[in-house]
């Protein structure tokens, strides 16, 4: 029903409008009142963030707020695979025969998710976790381990909601929505961090390229970085300017995942798996 009702809804136009409004410099009193209400509705603990409520010039600046140093400590284990975001698990498990689980009874293709990347098959049989960022969450995205960004792909796409209605009713949701895919070469192999756009997700940004997801006139990109961009474990990789979902992928034999279950809460920097060693 949801799919039929919203198939032709102007999701892109609504999303652009939301992004534009989030970037406006509202009268300071009005902005502070709106942010204060947002904090109350979603139960946000502002004590963990670096800038006080009155310090934001736009709603987008508030939404992408930085945490205080030490507020997201990294797991101490040297072989830890870290959660790249604050969020909740939608699904997690093994990629089987080129398919990932979207929700109970629904799967989608690995090749579609990775937009036909020439090395997509190397992830078949590996692990994945789909992590949803709630409006109350910290919305910066970090590296799950140390490595270097060797290539990326940006895919303009649909903007279906990643709420339960979308996840359970829109076929192939994560492989048809807008995506920014980062490939991180590591000491043990490679991981892919897929940032998924959605309704009201104004933009996706990354630290290693000036391109912006869902900007006016955005086109598909597939680029190798020369030289690659090195990033430490837990370093900022990008951010959502409103919204959304991250899918983390590992290749077979390169990492062992903890038994994540749908609904589990994770914090950026927590251990969600174990790196198996150099390859």
Are 195 and 138 in the same domain?
A: yes
Q: With a cut of 90, say whether residue 173 has pLDDT above it.
A: no
Are 26 and 55 in the same domain?
A: yes
24-28-34-39 Cα dihedral, nearest 10 degrees: 110
Which two three-digit tokens encode residue 126? 């590996």
From 112, 137, 139, 142, active-site residue: 142
Are 24 and 113 in the same domain?
A: no
Are 33 and 141 in the same domain?
A: no
- Domain range for 8: 2-63
Q: Is residue 202 situated within a structural domain?
A: yes
How does pLDDT run across 176-230, given as a tens digit for each residue?
A: 888 999 999 999 999 999 999 866 555 788 999 987 665 556 678 899 999 999 9
From 86, 112, 117, 137, active-site residue: 86
Are 96 and 8 in the same domain?
A: no
Which two three-digit tokens encode residue 177? 């929505």
Are 127 and 176 in the same domain?
A: yes
Which residues, 6 or more positions from 273, have their beta carbon under 8 angstroms from its beta carbon? 80, 81, 127, 250, 255, 256, 257, 258
How does pLDDT run across 106-163, given as a tens digit for each residue?
A: 899 999 999 989 999 999 999 999 999 988 899 899 999 999 999 999 998 776 666 6
Catalytic (active site) residue 112: no
Residue 253, phi then psi, degrees to nearest 5: 80, 0
Is residue 24 classed exposed, middle or buried when 0-12, 13-18 and 19+ CB atoms within 10 A define those classes?
exposed
Q: Is residue 69 situated within a structural domain?
A: no
Q: Is residue 75 situated within a structural domain?
A: no
What's the pLDDT at 62? 87
Are 45 and 144 in the same domain?
A: no
Catalytic (active site) residue 214: no
Are 233 and 116 in the same domain?
A: yes
Are 24 and 94 in the same domain?
A: no
Number of domains in the chain: 2
User: Which among 90, 93, 72 is positioned nearest to 233, based on CA atoms?
Assistant: 72
Catalytic (active site) residue 244: yes
């Amino acid at each position: 029903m949801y799919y039929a009702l919203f198939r032709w809804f102007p999701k892109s136009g609504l999303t652009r409008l939301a992004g534009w409004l989030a970037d406006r410099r509202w009268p300071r009193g009005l902005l502070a009142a709106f942010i204060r209400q947002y904090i109350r509705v979603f139960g946000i603990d502002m004590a963990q963030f670096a800038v006080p409520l009155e310090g934001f010039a736009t709603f987008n600046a508030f939404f992408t707020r930085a945490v205080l140093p030490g507020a997201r400590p990294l797991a101490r284990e040297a072989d830890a695979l870290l959660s790249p975001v604050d969020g909740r698990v939608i699904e997690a498990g093994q990629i089987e025969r080129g398919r990932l689980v979207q929700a109970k009874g629904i799967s989608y293709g690995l090749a579609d998710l990775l937009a036909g990347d020439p090395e997509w098959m190397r992830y078949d049989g590996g692990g994945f976790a789909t992590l949803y960022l709630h409006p109350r969450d910290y919305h910066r995205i970090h590296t799950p381990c140390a490595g270097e960004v060797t290539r990326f792909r940006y895919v303009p796409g649909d903007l279906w909601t990643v709420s339960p209605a979308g996840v359970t009713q829109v076929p192939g949701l994560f492989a048809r929505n807008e995506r920014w895919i980062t490939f991180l070469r590591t000491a043990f192999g490679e991981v892919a961090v897929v940032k998924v756009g959605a309704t009201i997700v104004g933009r996706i940004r990354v630290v290693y390229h000036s391109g912006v997801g869902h900007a006016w006139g955005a086109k598909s990109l597939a680029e190798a970085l020369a030289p690659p961009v090195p990033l430490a474990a837990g370093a900022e990789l990008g951010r959502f300017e409103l919204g959304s979902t991250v899918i983390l992928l590992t290749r077979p034999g390169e990492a062992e995942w903890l038994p994540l279950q749908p609904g589990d809460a994770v914090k950026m920097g927590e251990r969600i798996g174990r790196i198996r060693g150099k390859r």
